């Protein structure tokens, strides 16, 4: 249904629909902070909006981090809680000229995203759609991602703050909010000023399905495999030519094929080939390495190095070079000593009429790095599905429930 003909009567959805129209893709090849200047456009809009709402200490620094404060209205000395979301969208798929589509009273059938491209969002491929029958869905038009990751979280946090400002009778302590750039390229928390933020603990609103709460994530590394070759005319190549592209293929074949993302779930880790290029003279493979278990994570990195060493030994020279960089670690070890903050979120979800879904993140969030920097930060659902691509969608009702969970956490803290 065309967006212009739909009135949602939902403040969080209207905010979200406005935010997704701004292109905020991050760029892993950039060395700037933030990685793309266009992220600052949304940041400046958020600063203006937060000031209009009446929040305190509103600011965005030169690196694109936006922060604000909802001052306490309680006479009690309460812990300071923070809520964090990221403003960038994934570079995996276009985030330019996003044109959301609205499906009201979803009937459980195929959704036509784009007639010209013959593109549908089907419960045959995505059975989770069926749990939202009768609800209002926001989808893509099939040409871009949607941006629910994590502009849904941004909209939910701000709408929850607006609700608390409109209801001063609800007792609450000091609440800090922050919006970060570059989360999608693994840099969102690197320049986050934890001390200036001033929270005792926080929650990222960056999860998927309604009800999710997560305090475990992958240990993560990135591996670059550089293969050198020796190009000789094929007519005289006998015992001389070394084909870098074929060696790269050999390297990939030596990794366990069952340990790829498409074959793993839950706590199972993986090796994921994200990019490849090659000629006879030079080839490159980029992988991400993931595992929840720290010991197995280290073993995976050793395996990559061992394969390179074996190939070099087989070919009698150093044709393969490996560079591995750790990206982030499993936040569980930092959350377990303060599990009461997870229990508070579980209670808030339950009291909002939702079944809490405690599960490990098969990925990472700003919260993993923030937790290791002294700010314990588990993750809560924002409501979206199928992030980073043209099949992304978010139910409006899930966003509204996320707003409720946020202000219920604030209320639960005030009961202490």
Q: Residues with catalytic annotation?
A: 88, 183
* 24 contacts 39 by C-beta, under 8 angstroms: yes
The rounded distance, in Å, linking the Cα atoms of 172 and 413 is 7
Distance CA 146, CA 103 (A): 14
Numbers of helices and strands, H then E, in the chain:
10, 17
| Interstrand relation of 393-395 and 137-139 (parallel, antiparallel or unpaired) | antiparallel
Rounded to an integer, what distance in angstroms lies between the CA atom of residue 388 and that of residue 393? 10
Alpha-carbon Rg for the chain in angstroms: 23
Residue given tokens 């739909």 in the structure block? 6
Q: What is the dihedral of CA 148, 149, 150, 153, to 10 degrees?
A: 60
DSSP for 2-36 reads -GGG-----HHHHHHHHHTTS--B--TT--SSSS-
CA 407 to each of CA 87, 172, 367: distance values in angstroms, whole numbers, following the listed order: 21, 9, 19
Measured N-to-C along each axis, helices 396-414 and 148-166 cross at an angle, to the nearest 10 degrees, of 50
């Amino acid at each position: 249904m065309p967006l212009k003909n739909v009135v949602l009567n939902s403040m969080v959805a209207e905010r979200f629909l406005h935010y997704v129209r701004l292109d905020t893709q991050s760029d892993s090849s950039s060395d700037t902070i933030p990685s793309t200047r266009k992220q600052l456009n949304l940041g400046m809009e958020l600063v203006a909006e937060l000031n209009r709402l009446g929040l305190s200490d509103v600011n965005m620094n030169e690196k694109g981090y936006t922060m604000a404060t909802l001052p306490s209205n309680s006479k009690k000395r309460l812990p300071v809680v923070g809520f964090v979301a990221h403003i960038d969208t994934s570079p995996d798929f276009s985030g330019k000229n996003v044109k959301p589509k609205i499906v009201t009273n979803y009937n459980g059938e195929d959704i036509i995203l784009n007639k010209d491209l013959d593109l549908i969002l089907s419960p045959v491929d995505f059975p989770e759609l069926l749990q939202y029958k009768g609800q209002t869905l926001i989808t893509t038009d099939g040409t871009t991602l949607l941006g629910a990751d994590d502009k849904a979280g941004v909209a939910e946090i701000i709408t929850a703050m607006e609700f608390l400002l409109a209801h001063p009778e609800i007792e609450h302590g000091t609440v800090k909010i922050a919006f970060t750039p570059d989360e999608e390229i693994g840099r969102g928390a690197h320049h986050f000023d934890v001390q200036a933020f001033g929270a005792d603990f926080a929650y990222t609103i960056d999860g998927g399905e309604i009800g999710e709460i997560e305090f475990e994530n992958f240990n993560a590394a990135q591996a670059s495999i550089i293969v050198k070759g020796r190009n000789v005319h094929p007519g005289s190549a006998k015992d001389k030519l070394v084909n870098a592209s074929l060696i790269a293929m050999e390297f990939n074949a030596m990794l366990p094929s069952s340990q790829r993302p498409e074959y793993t779930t839950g706590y199972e880790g993986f090796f994921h080939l994200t990019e490849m290029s090659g000629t006879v003279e030079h080839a490159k493979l980029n992988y991400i390495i993931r595992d929840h278990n720290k010991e197995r994570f280290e073993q995976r990195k050793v395996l990559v190095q061992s394969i390179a060493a074996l190939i070099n030994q087989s070919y009698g020279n150093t044709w393969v070079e490996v560079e591995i960089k750790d990206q982030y670690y499993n936040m569980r070890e930092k959350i377990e000593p303060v599990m009461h903050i997870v229990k508070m979120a579980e209670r808030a979800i339950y009291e909002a009429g939702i079944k809490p879904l405690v599960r490990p993140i098969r990925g990472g969030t700003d919260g993993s790095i923030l937790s290791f920097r002294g700010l314990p930060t588990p993750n809560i659902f924002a409501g979206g599905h199928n992030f980073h691509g043209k099949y992304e969608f978010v139910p409006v009702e899930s966003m509204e429930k996320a707003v409720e969970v946020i202000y219920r956490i604030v209320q639960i803290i005030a009961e202490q």
